[in-house]
Amino acid sequence: MPSDLAISRAAARRPLEEVAADMGIGPHLLEPHGSAASKISLDAIDELRDRPRAKYVVVTAITPTPFGSGKTTTAVGLGQGFRHIDKLGIVAIRQPSMGPTFGIKGGAAGGGYAQVVPMEALNLHLTGDTHAVTAAHNLLSAMIGNHIHKGNRLGFDPHEITWRRVLDVNDRELRTIITGLGGPDDGNPFQSGFDISAASEVMALLSLCTSLRDLRERMGRIVVGYNRGGEPVTAEMLKAAGAMTAILKDAIKPNLMQTVEQTPVLVHSGPFGNIATGNSSVVADLIGIHAGDYLITEAGFGADIGAEKFFNIKCRASGLAPDAAVIVATVRDLKTHSNKYRVVAGRPLPPEMLAENPDDVIAGAANLRRQIANIRRHGVTPVIAVNAFPTDYDSEHQAIMDVAAEEGVRAAISYHFTEGGRGAVELAEAVADACAEPSSFHRLYPDELPLVDKIDVIAREMYGADGLDLSPLAARQLDKYERAGFGSLPVCIAKTHLSLSADPKIKGAPTGWRLPVREVRASIGAGFIYPICGDMRTMPGLSSAPAAEHIDIDDNGEIVGLS
C-alpha cells in the first residue's frame, strides 16, 4: 500500500469553490489561501441558518495506545462513507499541532485512503492560525512584564502571576524558566514557563467562541494573575485584549479543505485533548450543522476525556446537541488493555501482540465497556467503529463485535484506511440508524455544583475513581476560584490520555484508586476551570527518536518523511 504522503499527492482535488457549493456556501464567503485551503467568512453562520439542521455526530474512542486509535481517520472515512449511501457528510476536525507532528505521534490528517489533503499543508502551518494564537498569547505575556516594569499600577502580586508563555514545539527545557535576568533594563526576574500552544487559553478561546464579538469579550475576561489584595487581574485591565483579538481576526475563520474523495472538511483550532478541551471549533460546527446531512466532528483521545469535554464544555458553548457518538476501537488498543503487553512510544509493537489472539481482545474489553457507559451517561447513542488494520484477524474483529452485541450497541467493522469511503459504508449505515433514534442528551453535572464536586463527579462517573486526593495547593486554588465567583464554570481536567486513571501505566478499567489533583488553573476567558492531575505536563518533550529526524526536503523541493 502506498504511503500516506504518496496517497495524498496522487489524490484528485476539486476546486474548493465547488466543494463549498456542495455545502451551500457561495464564493463570496470564501477567502482562498492557495489551492490547499480557503477561509470561510463567519457570515456563513447567518446565511445558512435557515437551512435544515444536519445530524450531529461526535467521533471518540477507547483509551488509546501512544500511537492513537485512528479517530481522525475514522471521522474522515465516515464522512466519505456517507457519500456512498447518497448523503453528504461534513467533517470537522482540529488543526494538528506541530509538537506531535515533529514528536512521536506524527500528523493528524487521517491516513491511507481516509485522509485530508494535501497532508503537508494540514500538518505544517496551514493558514497560520496556530502561529496567530502563539503571537496573541505571548503579546499578553509581554504586556504583563512591561506593566510591572513600568510601575505595576494594577498592583500585581509577583507570586500570583498565572499567565505563562507558549510555543508550538515540544521542548521540555522551557517547562520552568526564570525571566528578566540581566539587569534593570531587562525586566524583573520571575519564575515562569512555557506550555505548548495547543494548551493555551487563547487556543481554547478560539475553539469555543461563537463570533468575533464573543472572542473579544472572552479575551477581556482572561485572568493573568492576582493583585496583592487577592483580586483577579484581567487582560482587559491590562488593555491587551483588543490587540490580541486583532491578531486573531483572520484566525477565527474556519478553514475549508477536502478529503481524498473530495468530501468537505472544516479544519479549525487545535486544543490538546488531554491537556485542553480537545475539540475543533464551535464556529466551524455552527457552519457545518446547516451545510449537509451529517456533521461529523472529532473529540480528542478516549471518551473519558475528549467526549466528556465535548458534551460538558463544547456543547455548553455552542448550544448544539449530539445525535450519536462513534467509539473507535482497535484490536491493538484492546490487546494493550489486556495488561499482557507493554507498548512504548517510539518503539515497534511487541511481535507477539501481532499474533492472532481474540482472547486478548476480550481480556481488554473492560475499557470498551467503560467508554460505552461514559457515552450513555450523557444520554447519547453510541456506535462502535472497529478501525481495521491490515495486521488484524477476522476472529479478533468478531471478538469486538461480540462485546458490542453483549452491550446492546450497534457496531461495524470499517476498512476506510485501505478502501476509503467504500470500506466505511456499514459504519455510515449504523450511524444513520443511531441518529434516527431520539436523543436524550444531557450534561454530567449542573452549573451550580461546587467546583470540587464537579471534579469528583467526573472522576467517579467517567474514570471509575473512588474519589479525589487534592494537594494543599489545589484546595487553596479551588477555594480562591469559588470566592472570585468562578464556581459556576465547567471543569476541563488535564490528565493522561493513556489510562482511565491518572497513571499512564494502568490499563483496562481500573478500580480502587483515587484521582490526584496537583494544581488547578483558571481559564476564565475560555470559560472553564482546569485541574491538572498526576504527572501531567502542559509542555511535552521530544522522544529519543522524534519524527523530526526523518522529515526533510528532497532535490525537487518536496517534503519527505512526513507521517
Residue pLDDT, tens place only, 176-199: 999 889 888 888 888 899 999 999
Task: Please report, for the chain, the start and end positions of each structural domain, with discontinuous segments joined by +.
Answer: 4-124+253-436, 129-248, 451-532
Which helix (H) or strand (E) is 265 found in, with range? strand 264-267
pLDDT tens track for 293-345: 999 999 988 999 999 999 999 999 999 999 999 999 999 999 999 999 888 87
Asked if pLDDT for residue 360 goes beyond 70, the answer is yes
Asked if pLDDT for residue 105 goes beyond 70, the answer is no
What was the pLDDT predicted at 540? 83
The residues, ordered by sequence, that sit 6+ positions from 246 with a Cβ below 8 Å of its Cβ are none
- DSSP secondary structure code for residue 279 in this structure: B
pLDDT tens track for 150-172: 999 999 998 899 999 999 999 89
The amino acid occupying position 478 is L
Give dist(CA 104, CA 116) in Å, integer: 20
Q: Quick one: angle between helices 201-208 and 212-221, nearest 10?
A: 150
Give dist(CA 310, CA 451) in Å, integer: 18
- Report phi then psi at 236, rounded to 5: -65, -40
* Segment 503-506 long-range contacts (CB within 8 Å, at least 24 positions apart): 503/534
Residue range 484-493: mean pLDDT, rounded: 96
pLDDT tens track for 28-77: 999 999 999 999 999 999 999 999 999 999 999 999 987 788 999 999 99
pLDDT band for position 109 (cuts 50, 70, 90): confident
178 by Cβ neighbours in 10 Å (0-12 / 13-18 / 19+) ranks as exposed
pLDDT tens track for 497-507: 999 999 999 99
Residue 385 β-bridge partners: 328, 412
What was the pLDDT predicted at 388? 96
Residue range 522-545: mean pLDDT, rounded: 88
Asked if pLDDT for residue 98 goes beyond 80, the answer is no
Burial 445-461 (b: 16+ CB within 10 A, else e): beeebebbebbbbbbeb
CB atoms within 10 A of CB 379: 15
Give dist(CA 37, CA 44) in Å, integer: 16
The amino acid occupying position 317 is A
What was the pLDDT predicted at 344? 80
Asked if pLDDT for residue 211 goes beyond 70, the answer is yes
Give dist(CA 165, CA 196) in Å, integer: 8
Report residue 367 as a C-alpha cell.
Answer: 475499557
Find which of 109-113, 146-150, 275-279, 287-291 is predicted with most confidence, using mean pLDDT.
287-291
Give dist(CA 212, CA 202) in Å, integer: 13
Thinking of the domain 4-124+253-436, which architecture would CATH place it in?
3-Layer(aba) Sandwich (3.40)
Report residue 446 as a C-alpha cell.
Answer: 449542573
Report percent pLDDT > 70 for the chain: 99
Give dist(CA 196, CA 170) in Å, integer: 7
Residue 285 contacts residue 297 (beta carbons within 8 Å): yes
Average predicted confidence (pLDDT) for the chain? 94
Give 129-248's CATH code, choosing from 3.40.30.10, 3.30.1510.10, 3.40.50.720, 3.40.47.10. Answer: 3.30.1510.10
- What's the fold here for domain 451-532? Formyltetrahydrofolate synthetase; domain 3 (3.10.410)
Residue 61 contacts residue 329 (beta carbons within 8 Å): yes
pLDDT tens track for 429-479: 999 999 999 989 999 999 999 999 999 999 999 999 999 999 999 999 999
What was the pLDDT predicted at 550? 79
Residue 215 contacts residue 131 (beta carbons within 8 Å): no
- Report phi then psi at 466, rounded to 5: -90, -5
Domain 129-248 shares a fold with domain 451-532:
no
Indicate the range of 104-118, 152-166, 172-186, 269-283 predicted with least confidence: 104-118
Residue 492 contacts residue 278 (beta carbons within 8 Å): no
Q: Quick one: angle between helices 394-407 and 365-376, nearest 10?
A: 40
Report residue 328 as a C-alpha cell.
Answer: 473507535
Burial 111-125 (b: 16+ CB within 10 A, else e): bbbbbbbbbbbbbbe
Q: What share of the chain is helix, strand, coil (3-state, %, to 5)?
A: 40, 20, 45
- DSSP secondary structure code for residue 494 in this structure: B
Report residue 294 as a C-alpha cell.
Answer: 451529517
Asked if pLDDT for residue 117 goes beyond 70, the answer is yes
Nearest to 379 by CA among 338, 321, 306, 448: 321
